[in-house]
Structure 1
Amino acid sequence: MFKTTRALVLRETKYKEADKILTVLTEDEGKLTVSARGVMRRGSRIAAACQLLTFSEMTLFENRGRWVVQEAQTLEQFLGLREDIALLSLGTYFAELMEAVSDEDSPNPEVLRLGLNSLFALSGGLYPPEHIKAVFEARLMCLSGYEPALEACPVCGKEDMVSPVFSTLGGTVLCGKCRSSQYGESFPLCEASLAAMRHISGAESKKIFSFTLENAAEKRLNKVCEAYVQAQLERRFSSLDYWKSVK
């Protein structure tokens, strides 16, 4: 059986002498594991389209329950990432996160769209990398079933909170005076960083990056979004650690 789909390469693993095993995120099938045979041989027609962080149109052939890349054409390579090791490592972190929240036979085209838009913004230098990272992390959590409760303090019910804090375990924002150990570890926010989180959560996909913060508020937003991802997914990501070492 043949299938044609558009897919983003999230991970590549060398297999045998000239093959690769790819993890790709597709529009219509969710996450797939596919084999790219002979892709590492000189002159391979599918080599460019099967690189990490490349968005391609792939024709797949099912062979004994496994998908094999028959043909592939590059749609977007995000060349700006390949010219900067820090940007490439941050893009790889985005790919790791998308792989972590995606399942086979469970398409989530909004996650793919977020990934493509974030990689495009990163590659083109449309926003600072830290800004793109925070937006990507926060929006990905919303699209993956971990949308935080940001409208009001669950203890006192106030929407306009004084000295707000964010509980990464509970996924909720609280007033500073309502902060409690029962909500687990919490991180300080400010009015601006809380407003940014609300914007990322509720804005149209094409507008999620469209806000500005002063440096201190941007740092708070980054710290909260990163901590929330790690708390909810219960893991750390080596590509994130590497990005921090080279940025």
Structure 2
Amino acid sequence: MYINTTGLVLRVTDYKDASRIMTVLTSTEGKLTVSARGAMRRGSKFAAAVQPLAYSDMTLYQNRDRWTLTEAQTIELFSGVSGDVRLLALGSYVAELLEAVSDEDSPNPEILSLGLNALYMLSRNEKDPELVKAAFEIRLMCLAGFEPVVSLCAACGREDVDAPRLDLVGGTVLCHGCRSPGTNETAPLCRGSLDALRYIVSADPKKMFSFKLDAEALSRLSRAAGAYVSTQLDRKFKTLEFYKQLK
């Protein structure tokens, strides 16, 4: 069976005979493992489309549970990301997160669209990468079923939260007076970072990156977002650790 779809290459593994095995997030089939035979040979028509973070129109052939790339036309290579080692590290983190929350043969176009928008923003370099990172992390958690409840203090119900902290386990916001002594799994916020968090959760997808923060608020938001992802998914991400080393 042949299908036509669009897909973002999340991860590649070189294989024998100059071939590549790719993890691809597609618009119609979800996450797939795809073989690209001879893709790395000189003059291969697939050479551009099998690079990490390449987004392409693809024709795939399915034989039982195996998928093979038969045609590909590149749509976007995100050259602004691939040409900068720090942005490439962050783009690789975007891909690793997309892979972590996506399922085989279970399409989620919203998650793919979010990942593409984040990569476009990084490639254009019009926004602080930390802002793009944090907004992507929080919105991805929302789409993956881990949306934090941030409108009120979870304990006292106040909207004007004093010295807010994000509960990394419960996915709620707590004010200073309601935080239990000895509770370590929280991340400090401030008024600006809490307002941004509320915006990210509910914003129109097309306007999700359209906000500004001062350096302190952005730093708190970015740290809280990264910690929330790691806690909710119960894992560390090597690409994120590498990105932090480059900062």
CA contact (8 A) 2:7 2:58 kept: yes
TM-score, normalised with respect to structure 1: 0.97
CA distance in 1, matches of 2:119, 2:224: 21
> Which SS does the other structure have where 1:67 is aligned?
strand
Aligned equivalent of 2:160: 160
Aligned equivalent of 2:222: 222
> Which SS does the other structure have where 2:150 is aligned?
coil
> Which SS does the other structure have where 2:157 is aligned?
coil
- Seen in structure 2, the aligned counterparts of structure 1 residues 181 and 31 have a Cα distance that, compared at 3 Å, is farther
> Which SS does the other structure have where 2:149 is aligned?
coil
> Which SS does the other structure have where 1:59 is aligned?
strand
CA contact (8 A) 1:167 1:183 kept: no
- Seen in structure 2, the aligned counterparts of structure 1 residues 69 and 205 have a Cα distance that, compared at 3 Å, is same
Q: Following TM superposition, by how much is the alpha carbon of 1:64 offset from its aligned partner in structure 2, in angstroms?
A: 3.8
CA contact (8 A) 2:27 2:107 kept: yes
Structure 1 stretches of at least 4 aligned residues deviating more than 6 Å after TM superposition: none
Indicate the RMSD between aligned Cα atoms, in angstroms. 1.2
Confirm or deny that 1:206 pairs with 2:206: yes
CA distance in 1, matches of 2:17, 2:45: 17
Aligned equivalent of 2:170: 170
The one-letter code sitting in structure 1 at the alignment partner of 2:112 is L
Confirm or deny that 1:243 pairs with 2:243: yes
Identity of aligned residues (%): 55
CA distance in 1, matches of 2:114, 2:182: 33
Q: Following TM superposition, by how much is the alpha carbon of 1:63 offset from its aligned partner in structure 2, in angstroms?
A: 2.3
- Render the CA deviation track for 1:101-127: whole Å, top value 9, x for unaligned: 000121111111111011001011020
CA distance in 1, matches of 2:21, 2:10: 11
CA distance in 2, matches of 1:64, 1:28: 18
CA distance in 1, matches of 2:10, 2:210: 26
CA contact (8 A) 2:118 2:136 kept: yes
The count of residues paired between Structure 1 and Structure 2 equals 247
User: Please, which runs of 5 or more residues in structure 2 have no aligned partner?
Assistant: none
Q: Following TM superposition, by how much is the alpha carbon of 1:183 offset from its aligned partner in structure 2, in angstroms?
A: 6.6
> Which SS does the other structure have where 2:169 is aligned?
coil
Confirm or deny that 1:60 pairs with 2:74: no
- Seen in structure 2, the aligned counterparts of structure 1 residues 169 and 181 have a Cα distance that, compared at 3 Å, is farther
Aligned equivalent of 2:75: 75
TM-score, normalised with respect to structure 2: 0.97
CA contact (8 A) 2:17 2:37 kept: no
